[in-house]
């Protein structure tokens, strides 16, 4: 092992059962293309593309070169009242790729920061237009919007919220989650059932009066809570209700942006236009931390009316638009275009769906869900030990099959590379089946 006991002890790992992990650590020392190298020299196939991050594969030579060159040329430039040329270049590229009408982009360093930035922009937007009473924010149950206080408050994951319950930001409500296995189990793509769940927003608008609501934030496809594709007509209905009440619609596309559904954005895939889009991950292929909040012209314009020597939005990060991250982002945008990454992802969606649904009749499987290159196989929990079966699958895939899959409790999640080879998938799903057959 490359890591000493003292080093292991020193690192408090995120979203990880530290004591369990440190008994038998899974440590990666290198990566190339679609594989990791572990500290014992094993080659492990990455069926999660990093953490939904590395769509075009690890250590893509073009991104590596761009980062190496940039770090030697301009390491950092002050981000406030000054900036670097690459941040502007990348902003242009991102808004050009975004759906029509998206005209500005605010840089952050993560998905969590993008979400909190978007919520602040929404509140500032209404205030700038003389509707400072619009302060309520609406999230959804089973949503993940990162771990900062805003994102956690609009998020809908109980363990993430539990110990901070009294400190969540005030004035937040949640609409219902979009999935109910009774109606949706084993659906390929979007379920036909469930558009009516968007009407929950009407209920909240009636309760609080819509004129008090600033924004609704949803993941177009909930990712971290186990791949919940939106019911047919659901996002359209949310858009309509938002329009009726003057509420901003925010799509949290930290996972879905940049090709995971075979389109630049989920907004393109579903043909529904939000007012604000949050991104991160695929913006730089995960190489350097960076996020972006992309807004439509009416959102930006609302801020641009005060005295022109005044800061319009008192918000920003030391590393907003960091030049090395921006270089990684620009190289990533080039690759998406030159290699036809989104078209590759589109072509792979059907074989991916077929492989996932080949588990539908397995006796330990209670649901299979998929859309684009996001997929989940939900296992029946063991009696009295929810999550144990999923966790065992994750660990044994790594140790016995040289395969990374992710589990959220008993939901096995798959986020393959946008440029995957189907042979690798065949092998990987054979591994999953072998283990699923053999575990309790």
Binding residues vs ligand PLP (CB under 6 A):
110-112, 115, 144-146, 219, 223-224, 252, 254-255, 280
The helix (run of H) or strand (run of E) holding residue 5 is helix 5-10
322 by DSSP, 3-state: which? Answer: coil
In the numeric block, the tokens 């408050």 are attached to: 153
The smaller minimum CB distance to ligand PLP, of residues 210 and 291, is found at 291
Min separation Cβ 369 and ligand PLP, Å: 16
85 by DSSP, 3-state: which? Answer: helix
122 by DSSP, 3-state: which? Answer: helix
CA distance 190 to 405: 23
- Sheet of strand 406-408, all strands in order from the earlier edge strand to the far edge: 365-371, 374-379, 411-414, 406-408
The smaller minimum CB distance to ligand PLP, of residues 210 and 286, is found at 286
Residue closest to ligand PLP, measured at CB: 111
Min separation Cβ 209 and ligand PLP, Å: 29
The smaller minimum CB distance to ligand PLP, of residues 214 and 280, is found at 280
Q: How distant, in Å, are the alpha carbons of 124, 303, 306 from that of 311? A: 12, 10, 9
Min separation Cβ 145 and ligand PLP, Å: 5
Q: How distant, in Å, are the alpha carbons of 112, 288, 320 from that of 329? A: 18, 8, 13
Min separation Cβ 292 and ligand PLP, Å: 12
The smaller minimum CB distance to ligand PLP, of residues 160 and 402, is found at 160
Min separation Cβ 143 and ligand PLP, Å: 8
The smaller minimum CB distance to ligand PLP, of residues 38 and 320, is found at 320
SS3 percent helix, strand, coil of the chain, rounded to 5, is 45, 20, 40
The smaller minimum CB distance to ligand PLP, of residues 213 and 221, is found at 221
The pair of structure tokens assigned to 208 is: 């609080």
The pair of structure tokens assigned to 10 is: 């020193």
Q: How distant, in Å, are the alpha carbons of 88, 127, 294, 305, 350 from that of 299? A: 19, 12, 10, 12, 37
The pair of structure tokens assigned to 228 is: 């919940």
DSSP symbol at 217: E
The pair of structure tokens assigned to 141 is: 């149950």
The smaller minimum CB distance to ligand PLP, of residues 63 and 365, is found at 63
Min separation Cβ 147 and ligand PLP, Å: 6
Min separation Cβ 259 and ligand PLP, Å: 15
In the numeric block, the tokens 């149950």 are attached to: 141
The smaller minimum CB distance to ligand PLP, of residues 146 and 390, is found at 146
Min separation Cβ 293 and ligand PLP, Å: 12
The smaller minimum CB distance to ligand PLP, of residues 261 and 280, is found at 280
Min separation Cβ 110 and ligand PLP, Å: 4
- Cβ within 8 Å of residue 381, ≥6 positions away: 387, 388, 389, 409, 410
């Amino acid at each position: 092992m490359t890591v000493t006991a003292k080093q292991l002890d020193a690192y408090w790992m995120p979203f990880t059962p530290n004591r369990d992990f440190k008994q038998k650590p899974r440590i990666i020392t290198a990566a190339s293309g679609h594989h990791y190298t572990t500290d014992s020299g094993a080659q492990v196939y990455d069926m999660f593309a990093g953490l939904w991050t590395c769509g075009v594969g690890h250590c893509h030579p073009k991104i590596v070169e761009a980062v190496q060159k940039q770090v030697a040329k301009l390491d950092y430039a002050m981000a406030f009242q000054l900036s670097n040329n690459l941040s502007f270049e990348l902003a242009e590229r991102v808004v050009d790729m975004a759906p029509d009408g998206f005209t500005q982009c605010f840089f952050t360093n993560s998905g969590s920061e993008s979400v909190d930035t978007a919520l602040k922009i929404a509140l500032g937007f209404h205030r700038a237009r003389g509707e400072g009473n619009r302060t309520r924010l609406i999230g959804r149950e089973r949503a993940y919007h990162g771990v900062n206080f805003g994102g956690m408050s609009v998020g809908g994951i109980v363990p993430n919220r539990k110990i901070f319950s009294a400190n969540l930001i005030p004035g937040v409500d949640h609409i219902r989650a979009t999935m109910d296995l009774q109606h949706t189990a084993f659906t390929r793509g979007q379920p036909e059932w469930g558009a009516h769940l968007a009407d929950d927003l009407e209920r909240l608008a009636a309760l609080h009066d819509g004129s008090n609501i600033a924004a609704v934030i949803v993941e177009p496809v909930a990712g971290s809570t186990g791949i919940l594709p939106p019911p047919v007509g659901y996002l359209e209905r949310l858009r309509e209700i938002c329009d009726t009440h003057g509420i901003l619609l925010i799509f949290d596309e930290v996972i879905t942006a940049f090709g995971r559904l075979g389109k630049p954005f989920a907004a393109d895939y579903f043909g529904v236009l939000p007012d604000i889009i949050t991104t991160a991950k695929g913006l730089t292929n995960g190489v350097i931390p960076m996020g972006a909040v992309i807004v439509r012209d009416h959102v930006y314009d609302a801020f641009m009316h005060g005295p022109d020597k005044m800061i319009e939005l008192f918000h920003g990060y030391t590393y907003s638009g960091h030049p090395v991250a921006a270089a990684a982002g620009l190289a990533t945008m080039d690759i998406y275009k030159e290699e036809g990454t989104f078209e590759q992802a589109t072509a792979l969606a059907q074989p991916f769906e077929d492989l996932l649904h080949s588990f539908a009749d397995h006796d330990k499987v209670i649901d299979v869900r998929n859309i684009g290159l996001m997929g989940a196989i939900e296992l029946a929990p063991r009696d009295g030990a929810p999550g144990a079966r999923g966790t065992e699958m994750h660990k044994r895939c790594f140790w016995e099959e040289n395969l990374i899959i992710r589990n959220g409790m008993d939901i096995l999640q798959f986020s393959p590379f946008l440029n995957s080879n189907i042979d690798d998938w065949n092998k990987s799903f054979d591994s999953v089946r072998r283990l699923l057959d053999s575990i309790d």
